[in-house]
Amino acid sequence: MIRVDANYILRYLLNDNPEMANIAEQLFLNEQVFIANEILAEVVYVLLGVYEIAKIDIADKLIDLIYAETILTDNKAIIIEALTIFKHQTLDFVDCLLCSYSQIDEIKSFDKKLNRYIQNKKNKAPL
């Protein structure tokens, strides 16, 4: 299995270096590639903080990438949900991952905003 770092994903998504973007695209199209959650978090951080890309655009681009058959993650459904939460809420991406994982694991946090979101989600109350 091949694992990529954040730079591979960034070059692919941003196409700011066409040669590297093409190499990344060929890899993503033709090989099984594992993307770890911490790499996704770094990609989100860079796209949001450095490139000032809108959350909705970041989430949509990463969801498209994650849906590719050649892309492997710890749990696609959890990551897709986390990205969906991310684009609609004011939580950071790591907190969105925790919210998503709250479906299958108990989450303990001192973060009031995170705890409120998780509780509302469990109660299916509107936010």
- Across residues 57-61, what is the average pLDDT? 98
- Whether 119 shows a pLDDT value over 60: the answer reads yes
For the chain, give every domain's residue range: 2-123
pLDDT more than 70, % of the chain: 98
Mean pLDDT of the chain: 94
pTM exceeds 0.75 for this model: yes
pLDDT of residue 127: 45
User: What was the pLDDT predicted at 121?
Assistant: 80
Q: What is the CA radius of gyration of the chain?
A: 15
In tens, the pLDDT along 94-115 reads: 999 999 999 999 999 999 999 9
